[in-house]
Chains A and B, each alone.
Chain A
C-alpha cells in the first residue's frame, strides 16, 4: 500500500495506527529471518507511539500524510535511545542521546519508527554483505545483493514491509539499492536535507535522503525533510509537455548490460510519448568526475576512520583496504582533486542552459549474486563495485539531486533502475518527471512474490 492509501484507511477508520503498527511488526517478524533487512526492531516504542498517534487522531489532531505511517531509519542515522551501529562492530553498542534532524522532522510529521535497517559496514560499500551482522538479501532473489549501502532500507521497502525509509548516499548508496530492489530512491541536492545526526562518511559527498515504494511516497517524505520545502507532491496524470530532457550519448550508455539498455531506451521513448522534448547530449568528462569522486571519498573517509585501523580485526577486509588507500593519499592530491572538481562542476553546469532534466540508467547492471566480485560486459571484466557506482557517483561529486526509480525487469526477473538528474534545488522537477514516468511504466506496485 502507498502512503496515500494507508492514510485514507486511517482517516476512514478502516484501520487504526495501532492495528497498522501490529500488522507491520508481524510482517517484519515474518520476513526478517529471510531478508535480514532490520538490525533492530523497536516494537515497544512503536506500539507506545501508535497509541499516542491514535489518540491524536481521535482528538482531531492530524499531523498530515505521514501521521501513523510506519518508517525505518538506516542504522547510521542517530535515533535517541536506540542503538545506531553504522553496520560496524566498532559502533555495535553506540546509543545516541539525540535524534538526527531528519528523524526529528519525520517524527514531527507523525511517522512511526518500526526499527533500524541494516547496511554495508560504515556505509562504505555497495553489497550490504555485512561481515558482522550478516548479508542482507534482495527480496526479488535472496541469492542476490540488495545493493548498498542502504541495503536494508531498500529491501524492507521492496518487500512491502514499510512504505518509507531513510537512507544516505555518498557514492550511490540510496540509488544503487533502489535500482537493485525495484524501489524509488531520492538523493537530494547536497545539504538540502540536513546531515545533522547522520554518522559522516564522505564529508563533502554525503547526502541524507529517502527510499519508498513510489515517487509520490518519496515526495510526501521529502516535503517534510527538505530545507525550504515547497510541499510539492506530483498530481495524478502528470505529463511532461514542455520538459526538456537530455539523454547522454557518452559514458552513461557505455558498458551497460543489454537488458538494462533495452529498458532504458524504452523509458526514453516513454518520456517522448508523454510530451517531453528529448535530446541527445554529449556530456563533459564523466570519467574525470568519477576519479575525483574516488580520491575525495578515499581521503575524506580515512580522515574519519583511520583512527580505527589498529582495530583491524573488527573491520571487514573490503572496508579496511579502502581506509588504507585513503590513509596514503597526500593532502596535496586531495586538495587538487577539489580544484579539479570546481572546474568540472563549472563545465557540467552549462548543460542546464538547455535542459531541465537528465535521464540515465541508474546502474549498469541488475543485482549481482551475493559474493560476486566482477561483472562482464562482453570481453571486458569490471569490479562489481565500479559497475554499480560509476553512473551514480558523478552526482555526489556535483551535488546535484538524483532520483532512481524502477523502469523494467530483466529476463531473470530482477528490477532495472532509471536515474533522473536535475539542477541544484530542482527536486520538484525530478519528482514531476519521475511520477509521470512511473504512472506510464505501471510497475511501481509490483512486489516480489515470496
Chain B
C-alpha cells in the first residue's frame, strides 16, 4: 500500500503536517477499495466516456 505520509512530505509544496490526520485515513480506505476493484477490470477496458456509451 502507498506510504501516504512520505508522499505528503515529498509533495511540492508539502502537505502541512497538521492536516495529515484528516488527509490520510480517507486515502487509505479509498486505496484499499480501488485495489480490489481494479483486479476485476478486463485488460481491454477503456476510460468512462459518458452515460450513452453503456446505455
A399 & B50 in contact (Cβ 8 Å cutoff)? yes
Q: Are A190 and B51 in contact (CB under 8 A)?
A: yes
Chain B residues 7-55 with CB under 8 Å of chain A are 7-8, 11, 13, 15-16, 19, 22-23, 26-27, 30-31, 33-34, 37-38, 40-42, 45-55
Interchain CB contact under 8 A, A338 and B47: yes
Query: Cβ of A424 and Cβ of B47 under 8 Å apart?
Result: no
Complex Cα gap A291–B28 (Å): 12
- Which chain A residue shows the least CB distance to B8? A328
Decide yes or no whether A255 CB sits under 8 A from chain B: no
The distance in angstroms between the C-alpha atoms of A398 and B55, with both chains bound, is 10
- B23 and A321 within 8 A (CB): yes
Judged by a CB distance under 8 angstroms, whether A390 is at the interface is no
Q: Out of A320, A330, A339, A399, which one reaches B46, CB within 8 Å?
A: A339
- Among A8-16, A62-70, A229-237, A343-351, the one that faces the other chain is A343-351
B contact face: mostly helix, strand, loop, or mixed: helix
A292 touches B46 (CB 8 A): no
Q: Are A349 and B15 in contact (CB under 8 A)?
A: no
> Are B37 and A288 in contact (CB-based, < 8 A)?
yes
B55 contacts A340, C-beta separation under 8 Å: no
Q: A288-B37, A340-B38 are in contact. Are A321 and B31 (CB under 8 A)?
A: no
Decide if A288 touches B51 in the complex (CB within 8 Å). no
Q: A321-B22, A329-B27 are in contact. Are A340 and B51 (CB under 8 A)?
A: no
Residues of A within 8 A of B51 (CB): 189-190, 345, 398-400, 424
Q: Is A341 in contact with B48, judged by CB distance below 8 angstroms? A: yes
Contact among A287, A317, A333, A340 with B41 in the assembled complex (CB-CB below 8 Å): A340
Q: Please indicate the chain B residues that have their CB under 8 angstroms from the CB of A294 in the complex.
A: 26, 30
Contact with B along A273-294 (1 / 0, CB 8 A): 0000000000000011001101
Known: A338-B47, A340-B37. A325 touches B54 (CB 8 A): no
| Nearest CB in chain A: distance from B26 CB, A | 6
- Does A443 sit at the interface, judged by CB under 8 A? no
Q: Contact between B34 and A291 (Cβ–Cβ < 8 Å)?
A: yes
**Cα–Cα distance between A346 and B41 once the two chains are bound (Å):** 12
Q: How far is the CB of A89 from chain B (nearest CB, A)?
A: 18
Contact B33 A291 (CB under 8 A): yes
Q: B13's contact among A287, A291, A310, A341, by CB below 8 Å, is which?
A: A310
A358 at the interface (CB under 8 A from B): no
Q: Can you list the 7 inter-chain pairs with the closest CB atoms, starting with the nearest?
A: A399-B51, A341-B48, A291-B33, A424-B51, A345-B54, A338-B47, A349-B54
Please report B residues at the A interface, Cβ cutoff 8 Å: 2, 4, 7-8, 11, 13, 15-16, 19, 22-23, 26-27, 30-31, 33-34, 37-38, 40-42, 45-55
A-B pairs with beta carbons under 8 Å apart, 26 shown: A288-B33, A291-B33, A291-B37, A292-B34, A292-B37, A310-B13, A317-B19, A320-B19, A321-B23, A324-B8, A328-B4, A328-B7, A336-B34, A336-B38, A336-B41, A339-B38, A339-B41, A339-B45, A340-B40, A341-B48, A342-B47, A342-B48, A345-B53, A346-B54, A398-B51, A400-B51
Identify 13 new A-B residue pairs, CB closer than 8 A, beyond the known A328-B15, A336-B41. A294-B26, A295-B34, A321-B23, A327-B11, A335-B47, A338-B48, A342-B46, A342-B48, A342-B54, A345-B51, A398-B51, A399-B51, A425-B52
